[in-house]
A and B are shown apart, each in its own frame.
Chain A
Amino acid sequence: MTATTGIVAAIHRRNRTLARLLLSPTATLAVVVLTVLVGAALLAPWIARTNPYDLASLDLLDSHLPPAFAKGGDPRYWLGTDSQGADVLSLILYGLRSSLAVGVLAVCISITVGTTAGLVAGYLGGMVDSVIMRIADVQFTFPAMLLALLIGGLGTALLPSALRSTLAVPILVLALGFSHWPHFARLVRGAVLVERQKDYVAAAKLVGRGPLFIMATQILPNVLNPIFVLATLDIAFAIMSEATLSFLGFGMPPTQPSLGTLIKTGYAYLFSGEWWVVIFPGAALVVLLVSINLLGDWLRDLLDPRLG
């Protein structure tokens, strides 16, 4: 009985969310653009004209070609080619894949670490709370981007060179994820402090449920909304940080280029007039970030006005 009403309420809520989404033109546009970009990234191996990872398919004779619409362009390469003769559009599709994958994985780490820390700190309180939140405070003193740069840069530099190429990406993901966990910890702790006072927690305690059970199955589902909003905005942050790190040479390696890596390699050719190897990946990055941010802002207004 309660399950049925719950589902009905959920469907009702879902419809209302959908209706509100359609009422906001910016949010609708953001969702459409985001769907196209994510779809293109997922389908890159099938829709890209060439596979930029397959060095054998590259033809140096086709290198440095401007976009198809510009003077001297080749109709096969809509957005031109880079110094290796790789199709810029294909590079962007594969780059989107790297950027999105790293961003989403990094946020997964932030969420896992931050939510666990916040739940434990908020629910247990006392010394545990003080220690966890102190660590978060100390980390907050440093801008997250600088921290990610330091962890990523040092992490790869201190590795033996044999492991460097295999571990570069995991280290990058860890560095980005670790640099942002305190945001989730603070948010979740605040929400848990409120939830902890409520009757359903007292009831669970009375039935003899342990703290682990209460935290994971009772409190967590009730603090998911703000986590969800922060996670959306955080994906944009993680993607931007990844692009920045890659641009600085401490991110995705040129063998698995993200959008940031593409911009870094393209930047070297900017002064010889090859703007397309920088501007197109850059535009893809900005469109991606803007649509995630717009969606995140809208979700925040919808789900959790307090965050604003």
Chain B
Amino acid sequence: MIPFLVNRAAHAVLVLVAVSLLAFVLGDVVGDPVASILGMDATDADRAALRVRLHLDQPFVVRYGHFVVRILSGDLGTSYGAQRPVIDLLAERIPATVELALVALALSLGVGIPLGVWAAARRGDRLVGALMTLSVLGVSLPTFLTGIVLILVFSIGLGWLPSFGRGEVVRIGGWTTGFLTESGLRSLVMPAVSLAIGQIALVARLSRAEMLGVLRTDYIRFARARGLPDPVVNFSHALRNTLIPIITVSGIQLGYLVAFAVVVEQVFQWPGMGLLFLQALAQTDLPLISAFLLVAAFFFVAINLVVDLLYAVADPRLRIKTLAGAR
């Protein structure tokens, strides 16, 4: 248990170091901070003075050290495009992305797991077979296309749902939420559904496969032999043992949801981090790009650590397997 956790923590640190190095190189080596701060018509003396003030006259390792201290103190630099501190820009955008990803996650687990369990319980059924073939369609649908089709049908065709933005949001402390207004909730429906559809199909396929494995085991056969009704066997005996891998996979799903939120935010002009990142990429706003990288790395590392912990706590067999896999 301890060596496993140490191994995973070392991995997390390694990822963060690698990404911070990349972010540092992007901001400090590729971009020219002096030119971006002073502009074109500065004198050579001014530039030299600023170089000293920014530690640019010092060796790479020292500069990287300063960079790390700077990010740890919460200073992620100033955006070229918006001319505002990056950390403020991110703070404004994070709630939109988090709410979108959480609703999509709830949808993909809430629909995907029951669907998978049901498909496993009734294997051989024609309808189930058709549904599983259809799940290939769910996996093959590009997220942006789902969004476009939804807009075409429900905004342009039927006029039921808004096609862009977050609607009205309510500010609670530093957080803005769309959950409390009707227009906020209505705006959330299509982005969340287009983000979730592919994941629903994936979760359903995974839970079905896990369930099929468990349903073959002896204890399920004994439960049936005892005359327990099917729903009890399926949901209370079998599902319990498939939940652990499903829940841990859902952690990884959350990572993918955040990645594909970038796409959904573009389709629906959802004012989250993804849209900000795309604008930063289009304008080569290096401080913003490196900040996004750091935040994303931190997020993914945190998810991975939690997933690994769940593995270690929940299932000793998995613990051994992941250890072997990590080596």
Interface residues on B, range: 35 or more
Q: Are B304 and A141 in contact (CB under 8 A)?
A: yes
Q: Cα distance A138–B8 when bound, in Å?
A: 11
Choose, from A60-68, A100-108, A165-173, A290-298, the stretch at the interface.
A290-298
Q: Looking at B140, B260, B289, which has the most chain A CB atoms within 10 Å of its CB?
A: B140
Give the residues from 224 to 261 in chain B that come closer than 8 angstroms, CB to CB, to chain A. 255-256, 258-260
Asked if B151 is an interface residue, CB under 8 A from chain A, the answer is: yes
A285 touches which of B14, B142, B259, B282 (Cβ 8 Å): B142
Q: Decide yes or no whether A26 CB sits under 8 A from chain B.
A: yes
Within the complex, the shortest CB–CB distance from B239 to chain A, in Å, comes to 21
The minimal Cβ–Cβ distance linking A144 to chain B, given in whole angstroms, is 9
Q: Is B127 an interface residue (CB 8 A)?
A: no
Annotate A248-272 by CB proximity to B: 1 below 8 A, 0 otherwise: 1110000000001001000100110
In the complex where A154-B289, A248-B263, A263-B148 touch, is A286 in contact with B140 (Cβ < 8 A)? yes
Is A243 in contact with B152, judged by CB distance below 8 angstroms? no
Q: Is the interface of A mostly helix, strand, loop or mixed?
A: helix
**Residues on the A chain within 8 Å of B260, using CB:** 143, 145
Q: Is there an interface contact between B145 and A285, defined as CB atoms closer than 8 Å?
A: yes
Please count the residue pairs between chain A and chain B whose beta carbons lie under 8 angstroms apart in the complex: 108
Residues of A with C-beta under 8 A to B11? 134, 137-138
Q: Is the interface of B mostly helix, strand, loop or mixed?
A: helix
Q: Would you give the shortest CB distance from B4 to chain A, in whole angstroms? A: 14
CB distance from B248 to the nearest CB of A (A): 15
Cβ-based interface call for A72 (8 A): no
Interface-central residue, A146, A236, A282, by most chain B CB under 10 Å: A146
Q: What is the CB-to-nearest-CB distance from A112 to chain B, in angstroms, rounded to a whole number?
A: 23
A157 to B288 alpha-carbon distance, docked (Å):
14
Q: Is the CB of A142 within 8 A of B296?
A: yes
Q: Please choose the segment from B73-81, B86-94, B114-122, B131-139 that sits at the chain A interface, where 4 or more of its residues have CB less than 8 A away.
A: B131-139
> Which residues on A sit within 8 Å (CB–CB) of B137?
286, 290
B interface residues with partner A (beta carbon < 8 Å): 11, 14-15, 18, 26, 30, 133, 136-137, 139-145, 148-149, 151-152, 156, 163, 209, 255-256, 258-260, 262-263, 266-267, 278, 281-282, 284, 289, 293, 296-297, 300-301, 304, 326
Task: List the interface of chain A (C-beta within 8 A of B).
Answer: 26, 134, 137-138, 141-143, 145-146, 149-150, 153-154, 157-158, 236, 240, 243-244, 247-250, 260, 263, 267, 270-271, 273, 275, 278-279, 282, 285-286, 289-290, 293-294, 297, 308
